[in-house]
C-alpha cells in the first residue's frame, strides 16, 4: 500500500509498559482530538485541512504529552517516539512531493488531457463507476500498491469522471475500493506480506483465507456501483457536452496516442518492482520532455506569463499552474498545485505522526487495547476486539502499518489460547486495519489519497464501499462461524 514506509520496531516489553494507566486518562487525548476535529468541520468545512485539523492534532498531542509528563514519562522518550513516527512517514512524504511534480508535468505535457480525451470515447457513463473499481482492482493486483494505482490510473479516472459530471467523492470511492481490494489480494503488497509475517501465516495461505471475505465484499461493492451507475445514467454529460469537451482539448493541446507511452512506462516500472519514488521521477521527466516536444505552442503561450520554457516547466513541477480554456469543467481540471500543492497534506501527516508517537510513548494506546482484550468472552468477540484495535490504531497512531503490527502482536496469544488458527488473525488485520486506514483523514493513507485524488477524505469515505463493507464481512463470518479455521484444541478453557 504505502510504499517502503516501515514503522520503527516496537520494544518487546511494550505491552507491559505503563500497565497501571487509567483508561480515562488514556482516552482523554482522543476525546480532545475528536472534539476539536468536529468543531473544525462545523466551522471550516473542507477547508479544515488547510491548517485547523493539523493544529487540532498538535493540541491533542500536547494534551497527551502533558498527561504523560504528569505520569513521569520522560520527555526524551516522548520526543524520540514522535521523531521515530515522523521518520517512518518520510517515504510517504517524498512520494507525495513527486506525485505533485508528476501531475504538473503531465498537465503541460498533454498527458492528462490525452487520457481525458480518449477516456471520454471509451467509457459508457452508465458503467463508469463500476469500471473504475474493476480497473483499479486489476492494476493494484499487478502493481501491488493502492498508492501507486491511485497516483497513476486514479488521477486519470478522476479527471474523466469530473468531465462526465460524476460526484468526485463517488469516483474517488470507487477508485479506492478497487485499489484496496487489489492491494489485499496481491502477493506483491507490503501490507499483505506484513500481515502474514506478523502472524506467522504462509503468504498464499493468508491470501486464500482473506479471499473468503474479500471476494464477497468486492462483489457486493460492484453490484452497488453498477446500480448507482444505471440510476445516475449520464449525470450532466450529454453527447454534445462530451463532444464539446473533446473539441476544446484537441484545440488546446497536441493530442496523440504516443503520449500514453508515459503513464504506461510508469506502470511498467512499478510492475517490475522499481520503487515508487524513482518510477514517479521518471514519469515526471517524461512529462516535461513531452511538453517540450509535443506542446511547444502551449509552452510559448505560457512563457508570456512565466518567462520561458524552463520557467514554465519548473512552475509546473513546484507550484501552481493553470491552463484556461473558457470551459468551466476543463478549467477546473487543467490546473495543478505541483509540489507546493501537497504541503497541507504533508503537514497533516507530520502532525498525525506527532500525535501517534505521543500516544505510544505514554502507553495510552497499549492501555486502551489491553482493556479491549479483557472484555473478550467469545471467538466473535475476539475478532471484534481485534477489529476495534485496528481501527483505534488507525485513528490514534495514524499509520496503517501500526494498525497491523500492534494488534497482530497483542492478539497472537489470545487466538492461540482459543484454538483459532493464526490466519483468522491475519485476515482480521487486513479486513479491519488495512482498509480502514484510508477512511481516517489524518492517517497517512487517508491524507495521501485525498491529496493525490483531490477529494477530501470525508467526501469519498461514504463511497469507498469495499473499505466499509470489509470489516463487517469479517465480523459476520466470525459471528456465523463460517469457514473459521481451528487449531487442534484451545490451550486454555474459555467461557
CA angle 126, 132, 136 (to 5 degrees): 160
CA 168 to CA 159: how far, in whole Å? Answer: 9
pLDDT tens, 354-412? 888 898 899 888 888 778 777 888 889 999 999 998 998 888 877 788 888 878 877 88
Nine-digit cell at 329? Answer: 469543467
d(CA 159, CA 143): 21
Res 85: pLDDT: 83
Q: What is the pLDDT of residue 200?
A: 86
The C-alpha cell at 433 is 486495519
pTM of the model: 0.80
Q: Which residue has the higher pLDDT, 234 or 488?
A: 488
CA 133, 465, 433, 63 torsion-angle sign = positive
- CB count in 10 Å sphere of residue 304: 9
Instruction: With beta carbons less than 8 A apart as the criterion, state whether 474 and 491 touch.
Output: no
Residue 209, C-beta contacts closer than 8 angstroms, at least 6 positions apart: 201, 423, 424, 426, 427, 485
Q: Give the pLDDT confidence score for residue 16 in this predicted structure.
A: 47
336 backbone dihedrals φ, ψ, rounded to 5°: -145, 150
Query: Residue 75: which H helix or E strand, with range?
Result: helix 75-108
Which three three-digit cell numbers place residue 199? 502472524
Give per-residue pLDDT as tens, 58-71.
999 999 999 999 99
3-class SS of residue 159: helix
State the Cα–Cα distance between residues 154 and 132, nearest whole angstrom: 8
The secondary structure of 136-150 as a DSSP string is: HHHHHHHH--HHHHI
The more confidently predicted of residues 492 and 123 is 123
Question: What is the per-residue burial (b if ≥16 Cβ within 10 Å, else e) of 403-431?
Answer: bbbbbbbbbeebbbebbbbbbbbbbbbbb
Amino acid at each position: 500500500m504505502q510504499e517502503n514506509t516501515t514503522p520503527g520496531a516496537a520494544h518487546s516489553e511494550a505491552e507491559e509498559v505503563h500497565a497501571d494507566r487509567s483508561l480515562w486518562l488514556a482516552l482523554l487525548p482522543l476525546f480532545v482530538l475528536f472534539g476539536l476535529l468536529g468543531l473544525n468541520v462545523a466551522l471550516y468545512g473542507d477547508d479544515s485541512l488547510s491548517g485547523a485539523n493539523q493544529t487540532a492534532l498538535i493540541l491533542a498531542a500536547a494534551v497527551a504529552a502533558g498527561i504523560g509528563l504528569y505520569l513521569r514519562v520522560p520527555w526524551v522518550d516522548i520526543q524520540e517516539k514522535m521523531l521515530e513516527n515522523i521518520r517512518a512517514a518520510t517515504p510517504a512524504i517524498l512520494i507525495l512531493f513527486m506525485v505533485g511534480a508528476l501531475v504538473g508535468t503531465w498537465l503541460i505535457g498533454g498527458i492528462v488531457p490525452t487520457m481525458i480525451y480518449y477516456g471520454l470515447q471509451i467509457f459508457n457513463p452508465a458503467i463508469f463507476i463500476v469500471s473504475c473499481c474493476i480497473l483499479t482492482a486489476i492494476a493494484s493486483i499487478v502493481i501491488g500498491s493502492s498508492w501507486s494505482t491511485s497516483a497513476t490510473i486514479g488521477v486519470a479516472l478522476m479527471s474523466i469522471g469530473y468531465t462526465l459530471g460524476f460526484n468526485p467523492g463517488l469516483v474517488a470511492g470507487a477508485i479506492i475500493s478497487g485499489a484496496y481490494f487489489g492491494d489485499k489480494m496481491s502477493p506483491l503488497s507490503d501490507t499483505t506480506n506484513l500481515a502474514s509475517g506478523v502472524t506467522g501465516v504462509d503468504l498464499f495461505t493468508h491470501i486464500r483465507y482473506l479471499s473468503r471475505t474479500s471476494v464477497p465484499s468486492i462483489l457486493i461493492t460492484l453490484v452497488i456501483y453498477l446500480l448507482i451507475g444505471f440510476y445516475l445514467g449520464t449525470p450532466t454529460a450529454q453527447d454534445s457536452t462530451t463532444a464539446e469537451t473533446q473539441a476544446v482539448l484537441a484545440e488546446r493541446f497536441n493530442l496523440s496516442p504516443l503520449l500514453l507511452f508515459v503513464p504506461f512506462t510508469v506502470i511498467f516500472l512499478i510492475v517490475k518492482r522499481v520503487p515508487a519514488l524513482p518510477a514517479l521521477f521518471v514519469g515526471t521527466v517524461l512529462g516535461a520532455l513531452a511538453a517540450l516536444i509535443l506542446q511547444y505552442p502551449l509552452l510559448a503561450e505560457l512563457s508570456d506569463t512565466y518567462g520561458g520554457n524552463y520557467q514554465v516547466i519548473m512552475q509546473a513541477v513546484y507550484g501552481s499552474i493553470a491552463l484556461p480554456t473558457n470551459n468551466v469543467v476543463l478549467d477546473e481540471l487543467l490546473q495543478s498545485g505541483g509540489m507546493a500543492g501537497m504541503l497541507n497534506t504533508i503537514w497533516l501527516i507530520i502532525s498525525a505522526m506527532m500525535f501517534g508517537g505521543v500516544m505510544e510513548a505514554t502507553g495510552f494506546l497499549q492501555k486502551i487495547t489491553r482493556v479491549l482484550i479483557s472484555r473478550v468472552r467469545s471467538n466473535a468477540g475476539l475478532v471484534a476486539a481485534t477489529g476495534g484495535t485496528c481501527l483505534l490504531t488507525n485513528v490514534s497512531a495514524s499509520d496503517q502499518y501500526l494498525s497491523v503490527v500492534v494488534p497482530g502482536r497483542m492478539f497472537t496469544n489470545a487466538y492461540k489460547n482459543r484454538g483459532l488458527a493464526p490466519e483468522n488473525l491475519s485476515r482480521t488485520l487486513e479486513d479491519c486495519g488495512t482498509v480502514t486506514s484510508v477512511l481516517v483523514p489524518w492517517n497517512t493513507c487517508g491524507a495521501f489519497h485525498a491529496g493525490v485524488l483531490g477529494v477530501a477524505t470525508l467526501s469519498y469515505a461514504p463511497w469507498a464501499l469495499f473499505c466499509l463493507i470489509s470489516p463487517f464481512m469479517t465480523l459476520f463470518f466470525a459471528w456465523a462461524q463460517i469457514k473459521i479455521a481451528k487449531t487442534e484444541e484451545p490451550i486454555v478453557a474459555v467461557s
